[in-house]
Amino acid sequence: MKLIGEILVSIFLHPVAWVLCVINIVNRTDMGGFSKFLWIVITFVWGIGPILYILLGGGRLW
Protein backbone atom coordinates (compact mmCIF):
# COMPACT_ATOMS: atom_id res chain seq x y z
CA MET A 1 0.00 0.00 0.00
CA LYS A 2 2.89 2.35 0.81
CA LEU A 3 4.41 1.68 -2.63
CA ILE A 4 1.15 2.65 -4.36
CA GLY A 5 1.00 5.84 -2.31
CA GLU A 6 4.59 6.70 -3.22
CA ILE A 7 3.90 6.11 -6.91
CA LEU A 8 0.80 8.32 -6.81
CA VAL A 9 2.76 11.09 -5.07
CA SER A 10 5.49 10.74 -7.71
CA ILE A 11 3.03 11.13 -10.56
CA PHE A 12 0.77 13.89 -9.28
CA LEU A 13 2.98 15.79 -6.85
CA HIS A 14 6.34 15.53 -8.57
CA PRO A 15 8.01 18.55 -6.88
CA VAL A 16 7.18 17.12 -3.45
CA ALA A 17 8.35 13.66 -4.49
CA TRP A 18 11.57 15.10 -5.91
CA VAL A 19 12.40 16.94 -2.69
CA LEU A 20 11.69 13.81 -0.64
CA CYS A 21 13.90 11.74 -2.96
CA VAL A 22 16.75 14.24 -2.75
CA ILE A 23 16.56 14.24 1.06
CA ASN A 24 16.67 10.44 1.05
CA ILE A 25 19.53 10.32 -1.46
CA VAL A 26 21.69 12.84 0.40
CA ASN A 27 21.24 10.97 3.70
CA ARG A 28 22.15 7.55 2.27
CA THR A 29 25.56 6.28 3.35
CA ASP A 30 25.68 3.26 1.02
CA MET A 31 26.08 5.42 -2.12
CA GLY A 32 29.06 7.26 -3.48
CA GLY A 33 29.05 10.87 -4.63
CA PHE A 34 28.63 10.09 -8.33
CA SER A 35 25.75 7.68 -7.64
CA LYS A 36 23.99 10.31 -5.53
CA PHE A 37 24.42 12.92 -8.25
CA LEU A 38 23.17 10.52 -10.92
CA TRP A 39 20.06 9.57 -8.93
CA ILE A 40 19.26 13.23 -8.23
CA VAL A 41 19.40 13.91 -11.98
CA ILE A 42 17.28 10.84 -12.77
CA THR A 43 14.62 11.73 -10.20
CA PHE A 44 14.24 15.16 -11.81
CA VAL A 45 12.41 13.54 -14.77
CA TRP A 46 8.72 14.31 -14.30
CA GLY A 47 6.61 11.45 -13.00
CA ILE A 48 8.87 8.52 -13.84
CA GLY A 49 12.08 9.62 -12.10
CA PRO A 50 10.98 9.13 -8.50
CA ILE A 51 9.25 5.88 -9.44
CA LEU A 52 12.51 4.57 -10.90
CA TYR A 53 14.33 5.56 -7.72
CA ILE A 54 11.79 3.75 -5.55
CA LEU A 55 11.74 0.59 -7.67
CA LEU A 56 15.34 0.33 -8.91
CA GLY A 57 17.38 2.45 -6.52
CA GLY A 58 16.13 0.92 -3.32
CA GLY A 59 14.95 4.29 -2.09
CA ARG A 60 11.86 5.55 -0.39
CA LEU A 61 10.05 8.85 -0.06
CA TRP A 62 9.29 8.61 3.65
Please answer whether residues 53 and 43 qualify as being in contact, where contact means their C-beta atoms are separated by less than 8 angstroms.
yes
| pLDDT(61) > 70 | no
pLDDT at 7: 75
pTM here?
0.75
Report the distance separating Cα 34 and Cα 46, nearest Å. Answer: 21
pLDDT at 26: 92
pLDDT digits (tens, 9 = 90+) for 5-51: 777 877 787 788 888 888 988 998 998 999 999 988 988 887 787 87
3 state DSSP class of 60: coil
Report the distance separating Cα 40 and Cα 45, nearest Å. Answer: 9
